[in-house]
Amino acid sequence: MPVSLSTAEMLQIRQAAERLQRQFDGQLNAETIERFMNDSLGVLLERSKTSQWVPLLAERFARDRLRALVRLEADTSTMNPSVLFLCVHNAGRSQMAAGWMRHLAGGEVDVFSGGSEPAETVNAVAVAAMAEKGIDITSEIPQPWSDEIVRAADVVVTMGCGDACPVFPGNRYVDWELEDPSGKDLDQVRPIRDEIEERVRGLLADIKTSARA
């Protein structure tokens, strides 16, 4: 049974919708923004066992979907390339990969991430491993993927989600075989983190080469 929101949480949702209205003013109309906010909230309430974090996550999920929608409706030749990192729980591998790409690309790549079965929180050991490299992913929260986000990505990197990973024609798909950091200690996660860094560096170099072609 879907969880329900308190009066305070509903107020947070309204405030989040207002922030999105301001952010996307001139790019998307108010009705579209409200529809995506409400739909994102509905998706999350169906999945969640508790209302904790739902207002914050709904805002982030809606923001990513709206960012993707802007890309789909714009001339992408004038926009930064985009990458979507997908795994099962969006709590370890995909969050580390997204963190590395944001860090290394310096704002030159639009980064998205998602999971087929999002966890409640990001893996604490993955957070600690990335912190050792000066990359802060403590504010990230696992979230599902959506059709808009997948379709808007120039490159979709999948990591262990198998048949659950979405496939749309026209996207470039890359599959990375990486160990799942879940249940591992910091010494065991460091090599996974470092392999992800190497792969992200290679992907970023490829993206930059393609952009110049």
Q: Which of 85, 40, 76, 77 is nearest to 58 (CA)?
A: 40
Has 95 been annotated as catalytic?
no
Taking each helix axis as running N to C, give the angle between helix 124-131 and helix 93-105, from 0 to 180 degrees, rounded to the nearest 10.
30
Selecting among 165, 192, 200, 203, the annotated active-site residue is 165
Quote the CA–CA distance of 31 and 18 in Å, as a whole number: 12
Is the Cβ–Cβ distance between 112 and 149 less than 8 Å? yes
Rounded to the nearest 5°, which phi and psi values hold at 66? -70, -40
Please calculate the CA angle 40-7-89 and round it to the nearest 5 degrees. 35
Is the Cβ–Cβ distance between 105 and 139 less than 8 Å? no
Selecting among 86, 161, 200, 207, the annotated active-site residue is 161
Selecting among 68, 87, 97, 153, the annotated active-site residue is 87
CA distances to 68, 97, 147, 148 from 84, rounded to whole Å, are: 11, 10, 12, 11
How is residue 133 annotated by DSSP? T
Has 161 been annotated as catalytic?
yes
Rounded to the nearest 5°, which phi and psi values hold at 49? -95, -15
How is residue 144 annotated by DSSP? B
Catalytic residues: 87, 161, 165
